[in-house]
């Protein structure tokens, strides 16, 4: 596509109260407008319910930011929990509704398992506490962590994850997530673009990351997040090279959850490297 298209300042990865973010969908849109973002996507974990809330406020159609539909799907690859962001989804697609129901069931079962594990470690009422923190949104480990903090079991989020909920710890429950192929199938059938989320956060060697990219492309993956939050330029250059090697579209997202996290500030992202083909070219 032509490089003469209108300037795009994009943030295609952020979370609202509908999953583990601290702001409402409308507050996210307001913040994006304040920061001159021109295109954004709310990518809550395994739910698109934020868009139903936005739809109830028709005045949002007149904001300066273009809202692209999105979701961050949890899935498994080689025993690892991998996240795939789907962008520009048809929210009326029946298959997408079915996928959301499957993911919600998996999250509910996972939450119960985490609660059972924490109970065996001497913590009480953790499921109820996590549900209260989720306030009707999808339950994730941060909701359990917040309850552990509020109940006085741990001092802060870092301790909660380091001792109980982080990778390899008792509460690190993988759940019955779908494989990469099924996640990509759900997204593609809903007219969306599947993107590998925050590729540098899985602790993979470059060789294994290339293997993941190869398999992701083979099952319908179309791109990756070349920029994820405030990552260093070396990682960006590595991901830009991967995007070129695999002919992937390139996305950019803050992975914003709440204010005050400088490594994941909504809209405060560098431009994609010039070698990249931006994902928004797929719908412009």
Distance of alpha carbon 113 from alpha carbon 270, whole angstroms: 39
pLDDT 10s digits, 120-142 = 999 999 999 999 998 888 888 99
Spatial contact of 69 and 48, defined as CB atoms under 8 Å apart: yes
Report CA torsion sign: 193, 198, 202, 203.
Answer: positive
Residue linked to tokens 């809330």:
53
- Can you spell out the DSSP letters for 144-187? HHHHHHHTTSSSSHHHHIIIIISTTSTT----SPPBHHHHHHHH
Distance of alpha carbon 124 from alpha carbon 105, whole angstroms: 23
pLDDT 10s digits, 219-267 = 999 999 999 999 999 999 999 999 999 999 999 999 999 999 999 999 9
Token pair for 132? 């209260």
Token pair for 104? 């919600």
Other Cβ atoms within 10 Å of 270 Cβ, number = 11
User: pLDDT band at 1, cuts 50/70/90?
Assistant: very low
Report CA torsion sign: 107, 99, 72, 50.
Answer: negative
Segment (H or E) for 55: helix 49-55
pLDDT 10s digits, 211-225 = 999 999 999 999 999
Domains of the chain: 10-99+176-282 (3.20.20.140), 112-165 (no CATH)
Beta bridge pairs of residue 193: 87
**Global pTM?**
0.90
């Amino acid at each position: 596509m032509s490089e003469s298209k209108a300037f795009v300042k994009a943030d295609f990865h952020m979370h609202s109260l509908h999953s583990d973010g601290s702001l409402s969908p409308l507050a996210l849109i307001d913040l994006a407008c304040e920061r001159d973002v021109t295109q954004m996507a709310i990518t809550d974990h395994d739910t698109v319910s934020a868009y139903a809330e936005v739809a109830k406020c028709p005045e949002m159609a007149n904001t300066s930011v273009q809202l692209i539909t999105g979701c961050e799907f949890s899935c498994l690859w080689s025993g690892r929990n991998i996240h795939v962001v789907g962008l520009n989804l048809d929210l009326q697609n029946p298959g997408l509704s079915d996928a959301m129901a499957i993911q919600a069931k998996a999250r509910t079962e996972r939450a119960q398992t985490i609660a059972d594990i924490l109970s065996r470690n001497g913590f009480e009422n953790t499921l109820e506490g996590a549900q209260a923190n989720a306030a009707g949104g999808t339950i994730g480990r941060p909701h359990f962590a917040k309850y552990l903090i509020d109940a006085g079991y741990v001092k802060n989020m870092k301790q909660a994850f380091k001792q109980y909920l982080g990778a390899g710890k008792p509460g690190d429950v993988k759940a019955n997530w779908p494989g990469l192929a099924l996640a990509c199938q759900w997204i593609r059938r809903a007219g969306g673009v599947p993107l590998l989320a925050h590729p540098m956060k899985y602790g993979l060697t470059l060789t294994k990351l290339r293997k993941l990219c190869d398999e992701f492309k083979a099952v319908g993956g179309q791109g990756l997040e070349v920029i994820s939050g405030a990552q260093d330029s070396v990682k960006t250059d590595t991901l830009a090279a991967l995007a070129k090697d695999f002919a992937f579209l390139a996305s950019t997202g803050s992975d914003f959850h709440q204010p005050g996290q400088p490594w994941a500030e909504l809209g405060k992202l560098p431009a994609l490297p010039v070698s990249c083909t931006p994902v928004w070219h797929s719908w412009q």
